[in-house]
Structure 1
Amino acid sequence: MKRKNFITLAWVSLGTSMFFFFVFTDEKNIENFLYTIIISFMYSFVLGGGNGLINDFLNKKFPWSEATTKRGIISIVVILIANIIMVYFCNYMNFVVFQKGATTAEYFKGKYNFINWFTINIALLISAFLHAKGFMDELKKTSRKEVVEQKLIAKSANAQFESLKNQLDPHFLFNSLNVLSSLIDENPVQAQKFTASMSKIYRYVLEQKDKELVTVEDEIEFAKIYCDLLKTRFEDSVNFQFDVDKENLRKFVVPLSLQLLLENCIKHNLATSSKPLSIRIFTEGDVLCIENNLQIREQIKESAGIGLANIVQRYSLLTDRNVYIEKSEDYFKVKLPILIDKPNVISVNSDDEDKAYLRARKRVKEMKGFYGNLASYCIIIPFLIFINLYTQNKYHWFWWPLLGWGIGVASHAFQVFGIGESWQEKKIQEIMNKQKNRHHGKI
């Protein structure tokens, strides 16, 4: 426990002793005053301090945020056992040692059973308050931590995504200038046409490079223009074939992905009139494929692998679906996932924070309801027992509300700590996640 908690207990003990001394003590002298202070401090520090230390120990060993269900069950068992022991100890010291109102045998035979039972309920009320306060403090701290972590993840993902997109502009320009440089010597007229086509293509690059996704239709149209540009240089050495289903045209892919893959085809394969390079762009279900026949060219300098790596990384930031690569002795194929909706996974907006806040608020409300129920039980049941025993000793009707309400409190505890509807929701979510992962595995 912290120092301020001990100071609080000292002030509570002093206030309680003053109240009992002036209200219930007949002989008001220094001896009785000191005796009242000692008794008050004993109860306050044993019950209040003991429950505080138990709560601190459980917070370290079983934090609410990491093991809510386990912590709830352990807390109920531990506080019941610990408070019974502490109450019996305090009452023994008070009635047997200090007041000498009974012998040890008389005490444990049941002379003070009612007082012990009443004090145990008061102790449980104190413990319930401390555990409720500890849970809400932990929940607030965890909620703030999660929001901060999500913001950091979002900023990191945004920075990484912007870095990847910024690779496209210089990468495309570098490759295009290399092509243009070759054409100037080989065919100046074609070089002029190439320059005009390159300006149109570069305009598209500038328009699309800042977008997360573009429609398949836009990307295919751009790829056709880019293929015409490559035809200008390679003529009959390269053949292109497009076979894309119309139903996929309004769906989405990563921008400039086809341009980067077409560059890879040209860069890594030989293309001559006698052995033309055939490139096919087509769809297979919800996948866009780029396939070429293998005519690997020998390269003096190892490739940096910017194009394909860029596409893979950008997809990983936008979806959990993977980019697949197939390679055999005859062909090389890349499969790009076609996305139905534009995902929003790299930004954490106010809606996400509002949902997290509402979930946390609902959880706090559930916990407050349970501890309010427990506190009411600990206060009202001892009062009913007192009324029953004071008015009618033969028929003990207090057992009915004690057991009935007690079962209700236990059921409430199981529901709040994960055995009721919250457990069902967790199980449903777990099954849905498994089915989702199995579905993506097949894709």
Structure 2
Amino acid sequence: MTSSNSSFLNVIKKDAIVCTKLTVVLGVFFIIVNQQFSVVGMAYVFLISGMYSFVLGLGNGVINEYLNTKWDWVKETNKRVWGGIIATVLYTVSAVLVIHFIQYILLFGHDINNFFKGELVWIHLITIIFSLGVAAFFHARGFMVNWKLAMTQETTKQEIVAKTETAKFESLKSQIDPHFLFNSLNVLTSLIGENPAQAEKFTTKLSKIYRYVLEQRNKDLITLTEELKFAKTYMELLGMRFEDAVKFNIPDAVSNPDLKIVPLSLQLLLENAVKHNVVSSSKPLTIHIYEKDDYLIIENNINPKEAIGKSTKVGLQNIADRYGLITPKGVKIENNNKTFKVSLPLLIKMENSMYQDNLENSKYVKAVERVEKLKEFYQNLASYCLVIPFLIFINLRFSPGFHWFWFPIFGWGMGLIFHFLEVNNYNIFLGSNWEERKIKEMMDKENKHKNYR
């Protein structure tokens, strides 16, 4: 037996216990009210109470649980609602008529020809409406329980993902600070022994650059113009140590001032180029930086060092990981043993999974709003089904000559219909996906006037 079948049977068992208790309570109540203290009279009362409790109550419970297994309340709300309405109405009307046939024709001896005439018609109508009201209440309750459970699970999942991604992102950004400082101090240590005067100038420039690192390291994106300016300054530091052994080619202008990249990504790539290659006058390191096809290309020739020590694996992996968190465009890495090329995506806006989560969150908000409307509709429907039978009874009891109850039946009923259409955003007439189609149409039209990268 599967877990879903086991859960279904457990719910039905609980409903059966509730129906048994309800049968006893209603039976005792009507025995006292009708003073049916004979064995036969009490048997009739308990039989009728049992029929209402089990046939209507348990029957609708079985339908409710079956529909829950067939259609998910959250993912297939429309199908679940319509399935519940159609199945409940058909079953309730049929069940009430069967119960009344047994009660009034077989037990009470009424003429079968009068089953759909006179007083019995109103008894059928009142019982059906009241039963539908109770069924609507339990459907609404099942809907809210399943929705709350699903939303709790989804919210927990989103919180875990968000916290994990945020922690990962912050961890990657925090690596930049010690990594930059460690490499800069290595350069400074070398200069102190080789050229103390240059070491002093290097220290002055280093303090300015390090201030920039502290200011920019926590940003998600930075303009390409700023990053290129910083890269030039950083290259001056490298030039102070390696002199003509390092050559750079950097554009003075960018194609679009709104273009952005990950902060300090150029600095990390420049560090890696120096770290992994021989840098000497006989084998100079040449680095070209240029734009191509919405990417910033950082290209250098390869003169591999024989032994570079154990890599910290911070630089290139850091950049790739950070880009992976903020855009679906990946960092491209090419190595043909002559040149090493890294292509960084040029961006204008954040287009990452975290920002996609914001879109999902907006859908979540819309879904929650729709649930509130649906909950109000169920409350309205339950109230209608409970109040209308009472109004019919009052009308027939005190002023049977004028059937004024038709006015609230139709007036309130029309309100219910429009309420239901509003909950479904009138998708019944416009199609189930008309909103999505219209949104896509408007977005496509807007994108013709904008060029997002």
**Same fold flag (TM > 0.5):** yes
1:212 aligns to 2:220 (yes or no): yes
Match of 1:425 in 2: 435
Displacement, 1:184? Answer: 3.9
Displacement, 1:391? Answer: 7.7
Q: Is the 8 A contact 1:374 1:409 kept in 2?
A: no
Q: Is the 8 A contact 1:287 1:338 kept in 2?
A: yes
SS in 2 for 1:41: helix
Q: CA RMSD in A?
A: 5.0
1:65 aligns to 2:74 (yes or no): yes
Work out the CA distance in 2 between the residues paired with 1:316 and 1:240. 28
| Greater CA drift, 341-350 or 164-173 | 341-350
Match of 2:187 in 1: 179
Work out the CA distance in 2 between the residues paired with 1:57 and 1:416. 27
Amino acid at match of 1:424: W
| Greater CA drift, 352-361 or 85-94 | 352-361
SS in 2 for 1:243: coil
Q: Is the 8 A contact 1:288 1:335 kept in 2?
A: yes
Deviations 1:327-383 (A, max 9, x none): 456543323233334679759999997984564133321453267358747975998
Displacement, 1:87? Answer: 2.9
Work out the CA distance in 1 between the residues paired with 2:443 and 2:273. 38
Amino acid at match of 1:42: M
1:262 aligns to 2:273 (yes or no): no
Gap change, CA 1:351 and 1:328, over 3 Å in 2: closer
1:41 aligns to 2:44 (yes or no): no
Displacement, 1:278? Answer: 2.1
1:55 aligns to 2:64 (yes or no): yes
Q: Is the 8 A contact 1:294 1:331 kept in 2?
A: yes
Work out the CA distance in 2 between the residues paired with 1:318 and 1:407. 46
Work out the CA distance in 2 between the residues paired with 1:9 and 1:121. 20
1:162 aligns to 2:139 (yes or no): no
Q: Is the 8 A contact 2:31 2:37 kept in 1?
A: yes
| Greater CA drift, 361-370 or 48-57 | 361-370
Amino acid at match of 2:142: G
Match of 1:314 among 322, 326, 338: 322
Displacement, 1:60? Answer: 3.5
Which structure would you say has the larger RCO, counting Cα contacts within 8 Å and 6 or more residues apart? 1
Match of 2:237 in 1: 229
Match of 1:74 in 2: 83
Amino acid at match of 1:73: W
Match of 1:243 in 2: 251
Match of 2:3 in 1: none
Q: Is the 8 A contact 2:276 2:308 kept in 1?
A: no
Deviations 1:291-316 (A, max 9, x none): 22344444565745421110121122
Gap change, CA 1:273 and 1:216, over 3 Å in 2: same
Q: Is the 8 A contact 2:24 2:46 kept in 1?
A: yes
Percent of aligned pairs with the same residue?
38
Q: Which runs of 5+ in 2 are unaligned?
A: 1-10, 403-409
1:91 aligns to 2:100 (yes or no): yes
Displacement, 1:200? Answer: 3.0
1:127-206 to 2 correspondences below 5 Å: 127-206=135-214
1:293 aligns to 2:316 (yes or no): no
Displacement, 1:115? Answer: 5.3
| Greater CA drift, 278-287 or 218-227 | 278-287
Displacement, 1:177? Answer: 3.2
Gap change, CA 1:252 and 1:300, over 3 Å in 2: closer
Match of 1:282 among 290, 294, 298: 290
SS in 1 for 2:433: helix
Work out the CA distance in 2 between the residues paired with 1:306 and 1:349. 27
Match of 1:334 in 2: 342
Q: Which runs of 5+ in 1 are unaligned?
A: 393-399
Q: Is the 8 A contact 2:12 2:58 kept in 1?
A: no
SS in 2 for 1:336: strand
Gap change, CA 1:415 and 1:21, over 3 Å in 2: farther
Amino acid at match of 1:74: G
User: How many positions carry a matched residue from both structures?
Assistant: 438
| Greater CA drift, 291-300 or 130-139 | 291-300
